[in-house]
Copies of this chain bind each other. A is one copy, B any other.
Amino acid sequence: MRQICKDKKIKDMNKLLVISAHSADFVWRSGGTIAKSVEQGAETLVVCLSFGERGESGELWKEDPNRSEESVKIIRKAQAQQAADIFGTPIMFLDWGDYPMLISDERIAQLTKIIGDFEPTVILTHTAKDPFNPDHPLAYQATERARLLSCGAGVASAFKSIDPPAWYSFEPHQPEICDFKPDTFIDISSVFDKKIAAMNCMGAQKYLVEYYTELGGRRANHARRISGKKEVKFAEAFQSHLPRVTNSIF
């Protein structure tokens, strides 16, 4: 039967939900925006669909090719938890497996319930296309479907339904090949030290931290050039999947 759904007080608070295919993606691709949102008083939640234990844990497999997948999961979880703690955000691990990640109706229902319970204002996740990663598009598809099922058709219904959250893709490794065309740059200058600290928890090769530090500076260069806002030193880029509704053109 139909449920009563909204607590006005909670609804008015901004809430950010980040859905990460592997347990490190949320750090590289949206860590600054998470930290910035926490700084601004928003409620945040990170959901890791997998630990990336099979395909995204290169350093661990390189140091010991014979270790067990379970031992990799434990280390990856600890690293992600540490990064989440630096940002000051809760984090959940769904342990769906990677390479291949498999999506089922039950997993969609699980994600739908998480979205329905958290009632996010904004969702961040991967791009619909990624010719270098089989799990990222699946994370996108699962998010797209679970988001729709949690919102319903905008009328009273047989199930709890929430206000439709805005949603964005965060930046993939090779933007042009993933058809990623950023339309929103978030100034993360004030929290970039936290992003660096969190990236350093991930046990990845040093060059990746440099790569994403440089990317933060490059996107800030773009943001300054677009807007004339000289104060932007580091930025993250996102692509929205829906129009923005606002009461000011500025």
Chain A residues in the interface with B (C-beta under 8 A)? 1-2, 14, 16, 33, 36-37, 40, 42, 53-59, 61-62, 65-67, 69, 72, 99-100, 102, 105, 108-109, 121-122, 124, 131-134, 145, 148-149, 151-159, 161, 163-164, 166, 168, 173-177, 180-187, 211, 214, 218, 221-223, 225-229, 232, 235, 237-238, 240-250
A134 → chain B closest CB, angstroms = 4
- A249-B33 CB under 8 A given contacts A158-B72, A174-B225, A225-B173: yes
Query: Which residues of the other chain, B, contact A53 by a CB distance below 8 angstroms?
Result: 158
Contact B149 A65 (CB under 8 A): no
Q: Is the CB of A185 within 8 A of B246?
A: yes
Known: A153-B132, A168-B249. A183 touches B244 (CB 8 A): yes
Known: A183-B243, A249-B33, A249-B168. A154 touches B132 (CB 8 A): yes
The docked-state distance in angstroms from the alpha carbon of A218 to that of B201 is 23
Distance in Å: Cβ of A205 to nearest Cβ of chain B: 8
**Nearest neighbor of A72 in chain B, beta-carbon distance:** B158
With the chains together, A246 CA to B153 CA distance in Å? 31
Residue numbers in B under 8 Å from A183 (CB-CB):
183, 240, 243-244
B56 touches A153 (CB 8 A): yes
**Which residues on B sit within 8 Å (CB–CB) of A58?**
153, 155-157
B187 and A246: CB pair below 8 A? yes
Is the CB–CB distance between A62 and B156 below 8 Å?
Answer: yes
CB distance from A83 to the nearest CB of B (A): 18
| A54 with B159: CB separation less than 8 A | yes
CB distance from A113 to the nearest CB of B (A): 13
CA distance A100 to B132 in the complex (A): 29
* List of B residues within 8 angstroms of A33 by Cβ: 249
- Pick the contact of A164 from B105, B132, B166 — CB < 8 Å? B132
A-B residue pairs in contact (CB < 8 Å), sample of 11: A1-B65, A2-B66, A40-B248, A55-B155, A100-B105, A122-B249, A122-B250, A164-B225, A177-B243, A186-B246, A187-B246
